[in-house]
Amino acid sequence: MDAREAESIVREKMKTVFGVDNLEIYERTLEDGKWYLTVAFFPTRGSDYEEIKQCCVDESGEISWKHE
């Protein structure tokens, strides 16, 4: 899997599960076969703040989110 594939998986999941289609991916790091991405998005329509989360996409396409 390359960075483009990992980004595509995250974008699709955010759109289908959370209804978020406006997001930016700022950082991409490959470590131990997993892509770590920093994602910024507006959690609800009309929201005036941006939420930033970090996630990990493994080789199988599973996403896990870093909880603070």
CATH code (residue 11): 3.10.450
Q: How far is CA 49 from CA 2, 10, 40, in A?
A: 30, 20, 10
pLDDT tens track, the chain, 68 positions: 999 999 999 999 989 988 888 889 989 999 999 999 999 987 766 777 788 899 999 999 999 988 65
Q: Which domain holds residue 50?
A: 3-65
- E strand or H helix at 29, and its extent? strand 23-31
Coil, strand or helix: which one is 36?
Answer: strand
Q: Which residues pair with 41 in a beta bridge?
A: 23, 51
Domain tally for the chain?
Answer: 1
What whole-number distance in Å separates Cα of residue 54 and Cα of residue 64? 9
Cβ–Cβ < 8 Å for 25, 44: no
Tell me, what's the pLDDT at 34?
Answer: 95
- What's the predicted TM-score (pTM) here? 0.82
Tell me, what's the pLDDT at 10?
Answer: 94
